[in-house]
Amino acid sequence: MLVNGARLVADPSGALFWPAERLLIVSDLHFEKGSAMAARGHGLLPPYDTAETLTRLERLQKRYTPERVICLGDSWHDGAAYGRLSDKERQRVIAFSHAQDTIWIEGNHDPHPPAEVGGTVAGEVAIGPLVFRHLPSPQRRAPGEVAGHLHPKARISRRGRSVSARCFASDGARVIVPAFGAFTGGLDVTDHAFRGLFTGTFHAWMMLPDKVYAVPSTRLARRRVEPGSDRRVVAHEGEEG
């Protein structure tokens, strides 16, 4: 994947890797989302989302051995999430953060990421031709932007069959990164929330178990909207996208 001249590797896990900078990028980890939803009475979700998300992060560390990690915001589901971690999970998060230079971008769920885990907190970070932030800029052209927040997913239909998957969304100038957390949902890239972010045709880099497939936006199935639904929010957040 080429973004504003920077060659990035789209990993099937939902992470990006920038080989030239030894930089790993993930977005929307939403640590402790399960415990937050359970406390609010949103069903009996298994309390293992943080452990699963950490396991996937640790696998990426071993695979890519990055010198730097950028977490693109909403790493914590709410301001009390760090306090709900078990002792074991707390130590795993701290170990992950200290294993390399880690930058925690501020998100709308976590405007003040916990300082206890170490690393650096920032609103946004610019490195070479890329700018890393949580919320996508509303401008149609934002060259080099790498953002999260929207939890993109896409669907294709062929011969009566349909496949839906989380995806990276990019027009070559900017990229919207999928949510990485185990309990995060997704918003279809044909939703109006994505309109105006790309110039002309873009690609949905759909994540299947062992490979990422680039599908032009002209081949995507459009999202079906339920009558009376609110299209401004991430649909069914809490389910796997």
Predicted confidence (pLDDT) per residue in 101-134, tens digit: 999 999 999 999 999 999 999 999 999 999 999 9
Q: Which of 178, 196, 180, 198 is nearest to 188 (CA)?
A: 178
Residues 6+ apart with CB under 8 A from 217: 189, 190, 198, 201, 202, 203, 204
Q: What pLDDT score does 160 carry?
A: 77
What would you report as the CA-atom Rg of the chain, rounded to the nearest whole angstrom? 17
- pLDDT (0 to 100) of residue 43: 58
Domains of the chain by range and CATH?
2-219 (3.60.21)
Write down the pLDDT at residue 199.
Answer: 82
Element (H, E) at 84: helix 81-84
Average pLDDT (23-50) is: 79
Two tokens at 175? Answer: 């990229």
Instruction: Report residue 145 as tokens.
Output: 């932007």
Tokens at residue 148, please? 């999260």
Model pLDDT for residues 129-179, shown as the tens digit of each residue: 999 999 999 887 799 999 999 999 999 998 778 899 999 999 999 999 999
pTM tops 0.95, yes or no: no
Does residue 232 carry a pLDDT above 60?
no
Q: Are 173 and 200 in contact, with CB atoms under 8 Å apart?
A: no
Phi, psi of 13 (to 5 degrees): -75, -20
* Between residues 184 and 229, the one the model is more confident about: 184
Average per-residue pLDDT in the chain? Answer: 89
